[in-house]
Structure 1
Amino acid sequence: MIKVAGTVSAPLPARTAFAYLSAFEHTSEWDPGTAVMEKLTEGPVAVGHRYHAETLFRGKRQSLEYEVIELFDNHIKLRGENDDVVSFDSIDVRSTGPGCDVLYTAEFSIKGPFKLLQPFLKPAFMSLRDPALEGLRQKLHSL
């Protein structure tokens, strides 16, 4: 499994930041690697809520279907999957006085014949981290 993680500080209350980030359809507003993120389930975010994503990876557009698998106390975890990869994305928001810290973690497991290439693909997955964290930082500072 390839793990990519980082923390961003924001001047928002943790509750405000989490309310925005747990509505995963906002991901395309801050992650330059996410071209489309559309909500497939109506109503408030809950376990079982589904999303369709179109992401850009190594110059190619990839479709993933995501489902919320955990949701509690400023924590959300989603499982995304397509024919080539399974992704677990977690967002944890912690209060830091008047602001908050957001820990974003993405874990990727390659499927099928490309599984053998997983160690060699780690740099490509790691290259997604910094632009996403910077986009997240900028978006949270603008809310």
Structure 2
Amino acid sequence: MISVERVLVVSRPVAEVVAYLEDFARAEEWDPGTVRCVRLDDGPVRQGARWLNTSRFRGRTTELRYELRVREPFHLVFRGENETVTALDDLRFADEATTTRLTYRASLTFRGLARLAAPFLRGEFERLADGVADRLPEAAEAWRP
């Protein structure tokens, strides 16, 4: 398993940051690895909502089906899966007056032969997490509901 964590400060109130991030389709705006992300169901975003995320990593394109597993005022968890990996994006929010402290943790658990490559991929996932840390605050601050 590979886990990366970043703590970010977003210059918006916590409720607005959660509202922005709970729609995983917006990962196109803040996740440098996401090429496309589309909602698979309709209606308001709620626990159980699903998305199809297309990502590019090391020159290869892969798809994961994501589901919103936890939707609480200060906590979101998305779980993505395909045949070789399970991804968990755990976002925890802290209200700091007019700003939000976001702790973003991404974990990847590989299956089959892909498990053998995991130790060699850590550096690249760290770089992707750095990209999230660079892009996410600006994207969330620019969003208008």
TM-score, structure 1 length as denominator? 0.94
Q: Which residue of 1 aligns with 2:46?
A: 46
Letter in 1 for 2:120: F
Superposed CA RMSD = 1.2
Match of 2:26, SS state, is: helix
Give the gaps of 5 or more residues in structure 1: none
Deviates more, 1:27-36 or 1:118-127: 118-127
SS at match of 1:128: helix
Structure 1 residue 140: Cα displacement = 2.4
Instruction: Give distance in 2, aligned partners of 1:65 and 1:97.
Output: 35
In the aligned structure 1, how far is the partner of 2:41 from the partner of 2:74? 20
User: Secondary structure at the residue paired with 1:125?
Assistant: helix
Aligned runs of 1:30-109 on 2, under 5 Å? 30-109=30-109
Residue in 2 that maps onto 1:113: 113
Q: How many residues align?
A: 143
Whether the aligned pair in 1 keeps the contact of 2:54 and 2:64 (CA below 8 Å) is yes
Give yes or no for contact 2:18–2:73 (8 Å, CA) kept in 1: no
4+ residue runs of structure 1 moved beyond 4 angstroms?
none
Give the % identical residues: 31
What CA distance in whole angstroms lies between the structure 1 residues aligned with 2:30 and 2:63? 18
Q: Where do 5+ consecutive residues of structure 2 fail to align?
A: none
